[in-house]
Amino acid sequence: MEVQYILGILHNLDLAIWAVLIFIAFVLVTQAHYKAQLAKLPTFETDKGNEKWRRTCSDSARMLYQEGHKKFKDQAWIMPTSDGRKNVVVPGRLLSELSKLPETVLSFPTAINKVLEVKYTKVAPDEPFAPYCIKADLNPALSRLNPIIYREVENALEDEIPQCEDWTPVFIYRKLLNTVAKVSGRIFVGAELSHNKDYLDTAINYTIELGNAVQAVKQMKPWLRPFLAWKLPEVQQLNKRSRYQKPDDMLQWFLNRSEDYKVHSTRRIVKMQLLVIFAGIHNTTVTATNVLYNLAVSPEYMQPLREEICKAISDNDGTLTSRALQQVEKLDSGQYIPPGTSIEAPLQAIYQDDSNYPDSDTFAGFRFYKIRQGGGATVHARNQFVTSNEQNLVFGYGKHACPGRFLAAAEIKMIVSKILLTYGFKNADNWTERYSNYEVGRLNMPERAIPLLFRKTTAQDSSL
């Protein structure tokens, strides 16, 4: 009996060993096939070791993509990443063709799941009715909501920026972050909750906490993540944010349409609201801050902008309606790739390609305004801030272009317009160059720890 038992164990062990060997062989063959397919594409070569390459990617990603774009130009190429992956970078001319591929072939949600480590952070990027609700409910409502948004902009900026009777240091990034959180919150969750202290804390800090959680997960060995990632303090802090409920405005729109998409969980609704916060508030703040930093060292653009804004407001009953925002024109400025490969486009390199935009390294504040004025209807439409095409990728491209870009553009125009009409501003300490952004990998952010000097002015004051 004991002999039969031992023989049975050995037989099962033998089967287990064979199963493991077959699995290992399958993995090795799959990886070999994957590498063979990618080997057909040119690679941005580096002679640095893994650790040195990781540091280079972290410190100089923008430069690396620009070099790759110049070297390979109109063909797809491979960029090794800091975490060991190999992403395929495609030129702008291929985006139209790629955008026609079905989700079963080219999946945006799958790529976002990788970037945000969704398996462990539990965010909800793949919820189709969230972008549908933005397109079907929010965007058509903007013409009605824009006067309300502008009042929120006025009130928020009055709360955030001091009177500034004389030149006063203002750390503008944080002030704009609070402003955008309040203004966006008015649309996202309604008037009452948008000024709630706890909601604003979530709206402002959720994006930061999500970024921290993603980085913490990525720093962990992949085989450890299923067992330990959920214990990371950054991940646990992120999960605490999924507890808000307010049946009003955009949140109510989500609820109204949730039945159509068989979404019955309040927790899922809240997660989608957090996703909208993640996508909207910090990106809008970054863009508005960059606009002010550019204007601070290019004051010759301030007065023409003020004059255009004043005329638009005067022509539209004293407020920035949708029609008025459209009038503020100067301020609008064949290779097989194996499954599982991430595909990206070199956004910054495309913008700084002289064949797309001549003299692209020079700041020209009215560049796109002049392009629109010099062309017909097609040129005008192609060069709007919210237009998505193969040369203008700030909001993405094709069917996955950011659906909330129209709200973001309206908020940015209103915030910058109100600041221009109320204040003069310049760099501190007589600094004549634009404040540098800081870059970490693909992340490019305006410096937050340096103030601008603000002083109360009028629209007619051209002496600043």
Cα–Cα–Cα angle for 323, 324, 328, nearest 5°?
120
Q: How many domains is the chain partitioned into structurally? A: 1
Residue 12 resides in a domain: no
CA distance to 54, 251, 434, 442, per residue, from 60 (Å): 10, 40, 19, 9
Measure the CA–CA gap between 371 and 368, rounded to whole angstroms: 5
Domain limits at 433?
A: 129-456
Q: Does residue 122 fall inside a structural domain?
A: no
Q: HSE on the CB side for 16, CA within 13 Å?
A: 6
Torsion-angle region of 429 (φ positive above 0: left; ψ -120 to 50: alpha; else: beta): left
**Which residues, other chains included, contact 348 with Cβ-Cβ below 8 Å and sequence gap of 6+?**
62, 65, 66, 444
Burial letters for 418-449: b for 16+ Cβ neighbours within 10 Å, e otherwise?
Answer: bbbbbbbbbbeeeeeebbeeeeeebeeebeee
In a domain, 378, yes or no: yes
Backbone CA torsion sign across 214, 220, 223, 228: negative
User: Does residue 426 sit within a domain?
Assistant: yes
Q: Is 121 part of any domain?
A: no
Residues 319, 313 contacting (CB under 8 angstroms): yes
**Distance from C-alpha of 443 to C-alpha of 438, rounded to nearest angstrom:** 8
- For residue 48, being part of any structural domain is answered with no
Which contacts qualify for 134-142: CB closer than 8 Å, 24 or more apart? 134/276, 134/403, 134/404, 135/403, 136/257, 137/250, 137/253, 137/257, 138/187, 138/250, 138/253, 138/403, 138/404, 138/407, 139/403, 139/406, 139/407, 142/322, 142/406, 142/407, 142/410
Q: How many other CB atoms sit within 10 Å of the CB of residue 453?
A: 20
Q: What pLDDT shows up at residue 294?
A: 94
Task: Please give the pLDDT value at position 462.
Answer: 45
Annotate 339-358 with b (16+ C-beta within 10 A) or e (fewer).
eebbbebbbbbbebbeeebe
In a domain, 59, yes or no: no
Q: Domain holding 450: CATH number?
A: 1.10.630.10
CA gap 77, 28 in Å, rounded: 24
Q: What is the pLDDT along the chain (464 residues), one digit of tens a residue?
A: 555 555 455 455 555 554 555 545 544 444 544 555 666 788 887 655 567 777 777 778 888 889 989 998 888 888 887 776 788 888 888 888 888 888 888 888 888 888 888 888 888 666 677 788 888 898 999 999 999 999 999 999 999 999 898 999 999 999 999 999 999 999 888 888 888 898 899 888 888 888 888 888 888 887 888 888 889 999 988 877 655 444 446 766 776 666 666 555 666 777 777 778 877 888 899 999 999 999 999 999 999 999 999 999 999 888 888 888 888 888 776 566 777 788 888 888 888 888 888 898 888 889 988 988 887 888 888 888 888 888 888 888 888 888 888 999 999 999 999 999 999 999 999 999 999 998 877 778 899 899 999 999 854 454 44
Residue 462 lies in a domain: no
